[in-house]
Chains A and B, each alone.
Chain A
Amino acid sequence: MRTIKEINAKIKKGEVVVVTAEEIIDLVKKKGAKKAAQEVDVVTTGTFGPMCSSGTFFNIGHSKPRIKLGGGSCKLNDVPAYCGFAAVDIYLGATAIPDDDPRNKVFPGEFKYGGGHVIQEIVAGRDVRLEATAYGTDCYPRKKLETYINMKDLNEAVLFNIRNCYQNYNVAVNLSDKIIYTYMGALKPKLGNANYCSAGQLSPLLKDPYYKTIGIGTKIFLGGGIGFVAWQGTQHNPTVKRKDNGVPQAPAGTIAVIGDLKQMKPEWLVGTSMLGYGVTLTVGIGVPIPILDEEVVKYAAIRDEEIYTQIVDYSQAYPQMIPGSLGEVNYSQLKSGKIIVQGKEVSTGNLSSYSKAREIAEELKSWIKKGDFLLTEPVAALPGAESGYTFKPLKERPIV
């Protein structure tokens, strides 16, 4: 029906028709998929949830005299960063915490400050304290460095998240008789609450369930700036069971994303603390879906009530790797605020902000409409539902 090249020509002429992943639902309902596919060029998606496999590369520039951080140690606002690279490249992970953080020694630990918070401070343009030690070489003699760094002075600041944007996710509950603290939030005993984490009908990979348009090289909204899909994300699991509409019924596809941190904004990269669990980063991602044909628009118009996910016990089943589900619910039920689990009415809470996901889809829509954001052709496909690509558990072997 249309190509990405044709869509880009329309964007440049200011004639492109863009709607969000929510708006396309009503449009397809009203006019049918065929008509909607003729009228709409792009559907924008969005998601804003905690994504632990996030982090940033920095090149801090060479000091005088020179120092080689590779093989040494490095901290940003007391949070350890990885520096096992060349002289002045470092990587700060979202879940890193200061060595003197009490962690879970006083349970549940509060995890007030860590990598995610440092990243948000750097994006906000604040000075961050760098302390590094090195062993010293003939060409890099310096052994100690203490200074403030600021994003504007860094050579490169790159957000690189190895796994984000989960295509669907579990609903977490607690069957035990005491409260538990998880990455899915605090779960009250005996099915006291049910927490989920997805933007559902706005979430990028749920609106392109077979990765027909989203692939390696797809240009995206990332943290308020521009980024790209770099690879399939870790734990990419496209072969899970799917409903007839193609939507996976459990956590499935993921993407690795990369982008220039200097363009990003602190409101879309938010340092996050999970009580009793740790620190992470909440990341705003928006992916455009080019409406290449009627099939793509049918998928893009999938509604919350057609997206099902599994209810998992996080007191036993999840930590002990015991497979099984306590039942299946759809996102319309989850968003109503109450679901039924084992005959009991349970209140639901979302870790992923739907209102922010909506803002991201709107923001990306406005970028495309204004001509500020052209679409890219993926350079390679993500491993698909028939690829045989799976997510394997660890096989432990005794060390002899």
Chain B
Amino acid sequence: MVSKRIVLHFPHRLVDQPIVCKLVKEYDLQFNILKAYVTPQEEGLMVLELTGKEENFNQGIEYLQSCGVKIQPLSQDVIRNEIKCTDCGVCVPICPTGALVVDLLTRKVHFYDNKCIACELCVKICPTRAMEVHF
């Protein structure tokens, strides 16, 4: 079994077509929608946690790509600008998944991007705006 968090970009011509449901029906995959922006006439964006057998997972990804969906791993989504971050830690209690943690010894803030679900709550509350969204 594999489970990965991925970002899907739907070109606007695909926004009104059912695509993601086929991952369940044809490829026996489970998905959990972490975030979705779908607006008519615009590019759609969806962040999924996709789980299933590795073979099915790879075929599912191939299917998505064949439809014209662009795929990138989630870790590229929210990144921390290390120059701007002052390690204050005001983001820590805001993060719902514990991706931002204060090191009790150094008092520096660690960002575990594998735990990040790209909810972006930290992005605007960061006083130096060190958390950046990259699509």
Contacts and interface: CB of A to CB of B under 8 A. Distances in A.
Q: Specify whether A and B are partners.
A: yes
Contacts of A185: 90, 125, 127
A350 B90 contact: yes
A126 interface: no
Contact of A353 (B86, B104, B129): B86
B78 interface: no
Interface residues of B, number: 19
**Chain B interface SS verdict (over half):** loop
Contacts of A355: 87, 106-108
A272 B93 contact: no
Nearest to A48: B86
A351 B93 contact: no
Contacts of B89: 349-350, 353-354
Given A337-B102, A355-B107, A355-B108, A195 B127 contact: no
Given A347-B93, A348-B93, A270 B129 contact: no
A193 interface: yes
Nearest to A279: B127
A310 interface: no
B127 A50 contact: yes
Contacts of A352: 88
A275 B107 contact: no
Interface in A309-350: 335-337, 346-350
A351 B127 contact: yes
Contact of B86 (A108, A270, A336): A270
A188 B127 contact: no
Interface string A137-178: 000000000000000000000000000000000000000000
A187 to B, nearest CB: 9
Contacts of B86: 48, 270, 282, 353, 356
Interface of A: 48-50, 108, 110, 112, 185-186, 188, 192-195, 270-275, 282, 335-337, 346-356, 358
Interface of B: 86-94, 102, 104, 106-108, 124-125, 127-129
